[in-house]
Structure 1
Amino acid sequence: MNIIRPHAPPQERRTATIVTGPWPTYAQFKDLPERERWVLYGSAKAYRESLETQGFAMAESYDDFISRICRELEL
């Protein structure tokens, strides 16, 4: 599915691909030491930001994404 961003400046008006999932899960890492889980949290955020910078739009809101990652990593 594609969306058009009508409020973006003209040079940024383009069609974005919406990523609807399935989302990667981090639950299998919940038993790692806390420091490693925080590193994974940072990596997940950086990966999402990279996708968004490339023009992808996520169906999962950012707040839902953060809540899910924190829940799965038990942070």
Structure 2
Amino acid sequence: MPPPQDARTAEVIAGPWPCYSGCRHLPERERWEVYGLAKAGRAALEDRGIVMDESYDDFITRVTRELNV
């Protein structure tokens, strides 16, 4: 696996992406699982050197709002 890119030179992925509001109908426990998967997915992208346009704090705020958790 190649080493992660430097955040100053890495390609920026414009966001927000993806939208989690489609999961609002799920029971609360499952929405929390989706929340964990969202965080893990973002972390995996960042570990590969991808820089997100949306700050981490904004990401967490948006995901918790969209999932209503």
Question: TM-score, with normalisation over the residues of structure 1?
Answer: 0.78
What is the percentage of aligned positions where both structures have the same residue? 56
CA distance in 2, matches of 1:39, 1:4: 28
What does 1:1-75 align with in structure 2 at a 5 Å threshold?
5=8, 15-21=9-15, 23-75=17-69
The 1:22–1:4 alpha-carbon spacing in structure 2 relative to 1, beyond 3 Å, is: closer
**Greater strand fraction, Structure 1 or Structure 2:** 1
Q: What amino acid is the match of 1:70? A: T
State the structure with bigger RCO (CA 8 A, min sep 6), 1 or 2.
Answer: 2
> After TM superposition, which residue ranges in structure 1, 4 or more long, deviate above 3 angstroms?
none
Higher Cα Rg: structure 1 or 2?
Answer: 1
Superposition deviation, residue 23 in structure 1: 1.1
Superposition deviation, residue 31 in structure 1: 1.2
